[in-house]
Structure 1
Amino acid sequence: MKQSTALKIAAGVAAAAIGGAVLYSRATRPPVINKKVPEPAKPVDLARYLGKWYELARHENRFEKGLDAVTAEYALLDDGRVSVINSGTLNGERSVSEGKAIIADEVTNAKLKVSFFGPLYTGDYWVLDHGDDYDWAIVGEPSGRYLWVLAREAVPPSALAQKVMKRVEELGFDRWALRITRQG
């Protein structure tokens, strides 16, 4: 076989593999539940945002599929980045993912870039809104495919949970597309 033919075959295989990966990636992303994701509603006091959060609901995604008892813990690192530890339970087994975030919008602290897979891949993390007392938060990103509803308590009072879900709708998200997270 000529070298140019071998190179064409290799290039074709590589293109097919990349194309397949792109199709796979697109096929595994959740559908859009908000075509016009709003900018974050207010600034974030990072010191008050840090700590442990319990997931109340989320738009189901492949990296959290089926997880319950989901928590997120944020801590400030010496270098100014934020440590992110997400964990959840599936079939009695605890799964933990550790990442790091940087502040992407230093004016409001409401937009971060988070990486769980090293510096080559970062995702947007926007605190779209939060309680004045930092007792709840709604987190998303600009594509409208991902959304998390968080609270400081594993099972917050019903009135607070209803208030937050109403706010989810006010921000333009389909609350009925969310999966309620079972805690405890």
Structure 2
Amino acid sequence: MAHRRKAWWLLGAMLGVSAAHAQSLANEPVKQLDLKRYLGVWHEIAHLPMFFQRQCVDHITATYSELPDGQVRVHNACRTKGGGMDASDGVARTTRGPAGALEVRFAPAWLAWLPWVWADYWVVELDPGYRWAVVGSPSRRYLWVLSREPDMSRTQFEALRRHAAERGYDVDKLVITAPLN
């Protein structure tokens, strides 16, 4: 009987270690983000599948520019399956949380007063030189790997992918949309 309890305890301990390892990084926004340095063009390297990006195949960019009221204009563009380009425009704003916690909306401005039109946009990992960023959400439903360049080294991507997995994101579903060198 004691051996059986010890075996169950050992199995539980191993599963606990495995689960802890699977999410060893906190899924939270970065504490420091210089929004002015974050502005500009970002190339998407990979994303978790989502309905509103279903038509995009590659050449996916997000361009951020400052608005007079301190918010950020968001311009997303991509090449579609048919070879054309698709784009959408939105607005991002800071929150009362950590610097890397933003909210974004693509609904018309007249709906901006509704809380449900704003979605969490968390910068969860950021290169000190602002060469790449990983953006996610509290639900772990959304994830983007972004780069200032239109490609990324496979080594860098795999490190970011591993970190995202350690934050609890389902990285097995990542759609890679740019070249990995």
1:95 aligns with 2:83: no
1:158-173 → structure 2 map (5 Å cutoff):
158-173=154-169
1:17-166 → structure 2 map (5 Å cutoff):
38-67=27-56, 68-90=58-80, 91-105=82-96, 108-118=98-108, 119=112, 120=114, 121-166=117-162
Partner of 2:10: none
CA gap 1:41/1:109 in 2 versus in 1, 3 angstroms: closer
- State percent identity of aligned pairs: 38
SS in 2 for 1:134: coil
- TM-score (structure 1 length as normaliser): 0.74
CA gap 1:97/1:64 in 2 versus in 1, 3 angstroms: same
Give the one of 163, 173, 177 matched to 1:177. Answer: 173
SS in 2 for 1:63: helix
Over the aligned positions, Cα root-mean-square deviation in angstroms equals 1.9
Note the C-alpha offset of 1:131: 0.9
1-side partners of 2:132 and 2:167: how far apart?
15
SS in 2 for 1:129: strand
Show CA shifts across 1:89-139 (max 9, x none).
11211001000111013x632111111112141111111111111111111
1-side partners of 2:73 and 2:30: how far apart?
24
2-side partners of 1:73 and 1:161: how far apart?
21
User: In the alignment, is the contact (CA less than 8 A) between 1:102 and 1:114 conserved in 2?
Assistant: yes
2-side partners of 1:88 and 1:37: how far apart?
31
Show structure 1 runs of 5+ residues with no match. 1-33
- TM-score (structure 2 length as normaliser): 0.75
